[in-house]
Amino acid sequence: MSVIHQLENVTKTAVKELFQVDLEKVEVTLTRKDQNGHFTIMVFPMLRQIKGNPAVIGEQIGAYLQENTELIGSYEVIKGFLNVTLTNAVFIIAFNEMLSNSKYGFTPVDDSSPGIMVEYSSPNTNKPLHLGHIRNNLLGYSVAQILEASGRRVNKTQIINDRGIHICKSMLAWQEQGNGETPESTGLKGDKLVGNYYVKFDKQYKEEIAQLINEGIDPKEAEKQAPSLLKAQEMLRKWEAGDSETVALWEKMNGWVYDGFEVTYNNLGVSFDSLYYESNTYLLGKDIIEEGLQKGVFFKKDDGSVWIDLSDEGLDEKLVLRSDGTAVYMTQDIGTAIQRVKDHPINAMVYTVGNEQDYHFKVLFLILKKLGYDWAENLHHLSYGMVELPSGKMKSREGTVVDADDLMEEMTATARKIALEQGKLDGLSSQEQEDLFKIIGLGALKYFMLKIDPVKNMMFNPEESVDFQGNTGPFIQYAHARIKSILKKAQFNSTKLNANSDLDITDKDIAIIKTIEQFPDVIHNAAIKLNPASIANYTYELVREFNSFYQNVPKIVEEENADLKQFRLLLCYKTALVIKDACSLLGIDVPEQM
Cα–Cα distance measured from residue 444 to residue 583, given in angstroms and rounded to the nearest whole number: 11
Same domain, 177 and 74: no
Torsion of CA 32, 36, 38, 39, to 10 degrees: -60
Estimate the crossing angle of helix 88-99 against helix 507-517, to 10 degrees: 40
SS (H, E, C) 392-433: ECCCHHHCCCCEHHHHHHHHHHHHHHHHHHHCCCCCCCHHHH
Structural domain of 43: 3-86
- The amino acid sitting at 557 is V
- Closest by Cα among 521, 534, 529, 516 to 579: 516
* 20 within domain boundaries: yes
Contact partners, residue 331, CB within 8 Å, separation at least 6:
284, 285, 286, 288, 289, 320, 321
183 found inside a domain: yes
Integer angstrom CA distances of residue 382 from 278, 412, 498, 524, 578:
21, 29, 41, 17, 26
Q: What are phi and psi of 73, to 5 degrees?
A: -90, -40
Going residue by residue through the chain, which has 594 residues, state the pLDDT in tens, using 9 for 90 and above. 789 999 999 999 999 999 999 999 999 999 998 999 999 999 999 999 999 999 999 999 999 999 999 999 999 999 999 999 999 999 999 999 999 998 999 999 988 889 999 999 999 999 999 998 999 999 999 999 999 999 999 999 999 999 999 999 999 999 999 999 999 999 999 999 999 999 999 999 999 999 999 999 999 999 999 999 999 999 999 999 999 999 999 999 999 999 999 999 999 999 999 999 999 998 899 999 999 999 999 999 999 999 999 999 999 999 999 999 888 999 999 999 999 999 999 999 999 999 999 999 999 999 999 999 999 999 999 999 988 877 655 444 444 568 899 999 999 998 888 888 877 677 788 898 899 999 999 999 999 999 999 999 988 887 788 888 889 999 999 999 999 999 999 999 877 788 888 899 999 999 999 999 999 999 999 999 999 999 999 999 999 999 999 999 878 888 889 899 999 999 999 999 999 999 999 999 999 988
Asked whether residue 455 is assigned to any structural domain, the reply reads: no
Please list the alpha-helical segments (H only) found in 69-189.
Answer: 88-99, 131-149, 165-177, 183-186
392 vs 394: CA distance, rounded Å: 7
Domain boundary among 240, 259, 278: 278
Domain boundary residue, one of 86, 108, 125: 86
How high is the pLDDT of residue 402? 83
pLDDT of residue 306: 96
Q: Where does 274-385 have alpha helices with state H?
A: 278-281, 286-295, 329-343, 358-370
Which of 376, 280, 286 lies closest to 330 in space, CA to CA? 286
Indicate if 79 and 172 belong to the same structural domain. Answer: no
Whether the CB-CB separation of 7 and 517 falls below 8 Å is answered with: no
79 and 173 in a common domain: no
Give the integer Cα–Cα distance in Å for 419 and 413.
Answer: 10
Of 262, 278, 294, which residue sits at a domain end? 278
Question: Do 178 and 268 share a structural domain?
Answer: yes
Q: Say if CB 537 and CB 583 are below 8 A apart.
A: no
Running DSSP on this structure, what letter comes out for residue 124? B
**Residues whose CB is less than 8 angstroms from the CB of residue 549 and which lie 6 or more positions away in sequence, other chains included:** 508, 509, 511, 512, 571
Q: Same domain for 82 and 168? A: no
CB 414 within 8 A of CB 555: no
In angstroms, the first-to-last Cα distance of the chain is: 36
Which of left, alpha, beta for 301 (phi over 0: left; psi -120 to 50: alpha)? beta
193-208 as b/e, with b when 16 or more CB fall inside 10 Å?
Answer: bbbbbbbbbbebbeeb
- 360 in a structural domain: no
How far is Cα 50 from Cα 414, in angstroms, rounded to an integer? 60
Q: Is residue 582 part of a domain?
A: no
Is residue 461 situated within a structural domain?
Answer: no
Q: For residue 237, which amino acid is it?
A: R
Q: 3-state SS of 370-396?
A: HCCCHHHHHEEEEEECCEEECCECCCH
Structural domain includes residue 243: yes
What's the CATH number where 77 sits?
3.30.1360.70
Residue 141 counted as domain residue:
no
Determine the Cα–Cα distance for residues 472 and 451; give it in Å rounded to an integer: 9
- CA dihedral over 48, 52, 53, 56, signed as positive or negative: negative
Domain tally for the chain? 2
Please, are residues 74 and 65 in contact by the beta-carbon 8 Å criterion? Answer: no
